[in-house]
Amino acid sequence: MSLTYLEAIREAQYEALNTRPEVFLYGQDIGTFGGAFKATKGLSKEFPGRVIDSPISEDAMVGVAIGAAIEGARPILEMQFADFSSVGFNQIVNQAGTLFWRTQTPCPITIRLPSGGTPGSGPFHSQSMESIYAHYPGLVIVTPATVDDAYWMLLDSVDLDDPVIFCEHKFLYYHLKADALGGRGLPIGKARIVRPGRHATVVAYSAMVHEALRAADELALDGYQIEVVDLRSVKPLDTETLLGSIARTGRILCVGESFPWGGVTAEVVARITAEAFHLLDAPPMRLNSKDTPIPYHPNLWKAHRPTVTTITESLKHLLRY
Amino acid sequence: MTTLEVADADWTPEFGRKYMAAFQVMQRARLMENKIGALYRSGGQVVGGVYLGRGQEAFSGGLGVQLQKGKDIYAPLIRDQAGRVAFGEEELDFFRTYLGAAPGPMRGRDGNIHRGRPKEGLLAMISHLGSMVSVVAGCLLARRMAGRLGDAVGATSIGDGGTSTGAFHEALNLAAVEKLPLIVSVANNQFAYSTPNDRQFACETLVDRAKGYGVRGWSVDATDLAQCLKTFEAAVAEARAGGGPQLVEGCLLRLSGHGEHDDAAYVPDAIRHSRLGQDCLLRAEKQIVARGLASESEIEQWAARVQKEIDAVVVQVAREPRPDPYRERWEAFSVRGMVEGFAE
């Protein structure tokens, strides 16, 4: 039985509700309606009283999750779109992110952010927020790129005693399918080498892993073996696996879908430069979206984010150095 | 909107006992705050600012004495020392946090009024106003879901300025939708830091907002302990009985600056000398003497005893170690595996 990325998220929530009585789901339209993307379809019927519709109040939704966590619950919060989490930003970074440090009270909440661009979604339904949240202490940021990771990392997030920002990519919801669910994979904090290679490393996460793999396919036609690393979680960031890869290839390109000023790709390049300068055969490169709001029209949107073409071009530049 | 007047008939022996207990809470809070204010002005001992609840003790304590530690949730705000005393927060927590001692609940990681013990139902406020309301709502929601809410309530405070935030609005609306047993006390002390009410909101009274949220609204003269007690008792009872959120507005004036660094020169004399500017503690003291509940000298003796306790605590805390940056665990995660080592 095949399973989409979105179905994996629904199944993981089913599993969490089914196995842990402390789990409940809270979000806009997630009850009978099943959520804007149907990630909670049917769950309110299966688990009465534990899949709760919230008002359109992202700040208060996060506050509620934090209060519930203080009382021993393990809430999973659904933001309708990652973009709207900015309204709950204060509670996420100042309340959830500081609670354990200040009071030694763990804050086991999981905030699901339907992230990233899809054609026609425009500036306010397309954002990738991982870099923003990763900047603040006390938050774990995961960015699953596969069906298995969507499932297992969501369960791992619920099990974790710290607040997790779960960045799930909307473009993968329906496009990405697996024939069956695999076994539990790597823990949060470990990157995975998706495709081994020896000429250059592409570091990516979330939907960009798949674009990177396609770019690697293209360059294979020219005889290059490109290693692709899926970060899986951007905080913690698995520097060790990156350093191992650099030791093999000597060249690195980091690809992210979010805006180019700072962020995950800049952090990766900064760490590689500081810790593996002597292993590098070329200056580390990074590729992000353009530095504008995310455009609405598919023609513009496709050119705004990194694509197979721009990743391939960047890699060629890197390989030529 | 409900305003409960206190008549002579209300002064039963039981009410008198409650009044005296609440007065002693107020008195202790005032003395603790006087002490920390003095230490601040003498310099060197207090870490950071000092924010007092002088003039707000009847309103804060009037709510606090209705709550039961171990059963109810309490998220005090900046001017709730009396509420904290009533809830059972230890004096040690107050002085250790203000003086930056390493033992105690905050261990130098946060200071002054940002202290609490969430696992004991005493939440530790963050500075962003309105943010605690939804957290209290979440505590209550989780307990109800787990079937262990019983007749517990959650209470939190805010000021006139805090009611302008989106967080306040979102949370009170949410709590009303969920019909949670939440008490929100609004200490309308006329100024948000230096901003007067006519630059803060345009409705006639803040309690008018209760209707818009679909919650019960109460209004009290917050300089009168008797009215505070009667009102909070009724509001808390209503919340315990399933009546949903209760919004209680108390009208008063803070008898200090926003913090001790602030001389509050922006408060016009006319307001200082109005009914709002009455000192709730002096009013209560006069009431106690007039009703023959205690004599002036007895009240002085209580104060002297509390002062002695306070002084002893300060001496103890002054000797305690301060946080050591070399022994600090610089980790914001409870799960060790989530911690990354950054180069320094």
Contact B254, B51 (CB under 8 A): no
Percent of chain B with pLDDT over 90: 97
Alpha helices for B178-295 (secondary structure H): 209-213, 225-240, 269-272, 280-290
Asked if the bond preceding B13 is cis, omega within 30° of 0, the reply is: no
CB contact under 8 A, B126 and A103: no
Chain A residue numbers with beta carbons less than 8 Å from the beta carbon of B164 are none
* Distance in angstroms (rounded) separating the CA atoms of residues A160 and A152: 12
Contact B182, B137 (CB under 8 A): yes
* Phi and psi angles of residue A98, each rounded to the nearest 5 degrees, phi first: -105, -10
Chain A residue numbers with beta carbons less than 8 Å from the beta carbon of B134 are 57, 59-64, 67, 91
Handedness of CA A268, A269, A271, A277 (dihedral sign): positive
CB contact under 8 A, B140 and A189: no
* Distance in angstroms (rounded) separating the CA atoms of residues B172 and B182: 9
CB-based contact, B126 to chain A, within 8 Å: yes
User: How do residues B50-71 score in pLDDT, each as one tens digit?
Assistant: 999 999 999 999 999 999 999 9
User: How do residues B203-227 score in pLDDT, each as one tens digit?
Assistant: 999 999 999 999 999 999 999 999 9
Q: What is the identity of the amino acid at B27? A: Q
The token pair that represents A5 in the structure block: 């990325």
Domain spans of chain A, in order of start: 3-178, 192-320
User: How do residues B148-175 score in pLDDT, each as one tens digit?
Assistant: 999 999 999 999 999 999 999 999 999 9
Chain B residue numbers with beta carbons less than 8 Å from the beta carbon of A90 are 128, 131, 167
Instruction: Map tokens 């927020």 to a residue.
Output: A129
- Chain A nearest C-alpha distance from B242 (Å): 18
CB contact under 8 A, A60 and B174: yes
* Distance in angstroms (rounded) separating the CA atoms of residues A168 and A176: 12
Chain B residue numbers with beta carbons less than 8 Å from the beta carbon of A75 are 138, 142
User: How do residues B68-91 score in pLDDT, each as one tens digit?
Assistant: 999 999 999 999 999 999 999 999
Quote the pLDDT of residue A207: 98
Q: For residue A177, with 0-12 CB atoms within 10 Å meaning exposed, 13-18 middle and 19 or more buried, which class applies?
A: middle
CB-based contact, B333 to chain A, within 8 Å: yes
CB contact under 8 A, B166 and A64: no
Catalytic position from the list A125, A169, A199, A210: A125
Q: Please give the residue of chain A at the shortest CA–CA distance from B149.
A: A71
Q: What is the identity of the amino acid at B285? A: E
User: How do residues A146-177 score in pLDDT, each as one tens digit?
Assistant: 999 999 999 999 999 999 999 999 999 999 99
CB-based contact, B286 to chain A, within 8 Å: no
Confidence of residue B44 (pLDDT cuts 50, 70, 90): confident
Which candidate, B29, B131, B21, places its Cα nearest to that of B75? Answer: B131
Quote the pLDDT of residue A190: 98
Q: Is residue B343 scored above 70 in pLDDT?
A: no
Quote the pLDDT of residue B344: 65
Chain B residue numbers with beta carbons less than 8 Å from the beta carbon of A135 are none
Quote the pLDDT of residue B222: 98
Query: Do A3-178 and A192-320 come out as alike in CATH topology?
Result: yes
* Phi and psi angles of residue A181, each rounded to the nearest 5 degrees, phi first: -75, 130
Torsion over CA of B221, B222, B224 and B227, rounded to 10 degrees?
70
Confidence of residue A1 (pLDDT cuts 50, 70, 90): confident
CB contact under 8 A, B131 and A54: no
Q: Is residue B102 scored above 70 in pLDDT?
A: yes
- Residue A44: CB atoms within 10 A of its CB come to 20
* Distance in angstroms (rounded) separating the CA atoms of residues A309 and A112: 30
CB-based contact, B145 to chain A, within 8 Å: yes
CB contact under 8 A, A57 and B174: yes
- Chain A nearest C-alpha distance from B105 (Å): 7
- Chain A nearest C-alpha distance from B68 (Å): 17
**Best to test chain B binding among A52, A57, A241 (most B CBs inside 10 Å):** A57
Q: Please give the residue of chain A at the shortest CA–CA distance from B338.
A: A236
The token pair that represents B93 in the structure block: 């927590």
Q: Is residue A261 scored above 70 in pLDDT?
A: yes
Quote the pLDDT of residue B341: 79
pLDDT, averaged across chain A: 97
CATH class of A192-320: alpha beta
Residue A121 CB contacts under 8 Å (≥ 6 apart), including other chains: A170, A294, A296, A301
Domains plus CATH for chain B? 8-338 (3.40.50.970)
Chain B residue numbers with beta carbons less than 8 Å from the beta carbon of A241 are none
Classify A168 as helix, strand or coil. Answer: strand
* Distance in angstroms (rounded) separating the CA atoms of residues B321 and A259: 46
A320, containing H or E segment? helix A308-320
* Distance in angstroms (rounded) separating the CA atoms of residues A295 and A298: 8
* Phi and psi angles of residue B342, each rounded to the nearest 5 degrees, phi first: -100, 140
* Distance in angstroms (rounded) separating the CA atoms of residues A233 and B333: 15
Chain B residue numbers with beta carbons less than 8 Å from the beta carbon of A64 are 134-135, 137-138, 141, 174
* Distance in angstroms (rounded) separating the CA atoms of residues B78 and B126: 10
CB contact under 8 A, B142 and A72: yes
Residue B27 CB contacts under 8 Å (≥ 6 apart), including other chains: B281, B299, B302, B303, B306
Provide the CATH topology of domain A3-178.
Rossmann fold (3.40.50)
Instruction: Map tokens 């261990």 to a residue.
Output: B107
- Chain B nearest C-alpha distance from A127 (Å): 23
CB contact under 8 A, B339 and A236: yes
Q: Please give the residue of chain B at the shortest CA–CA distance from A101.
A: B332
Q: Catalytic site residue A278?
A: no
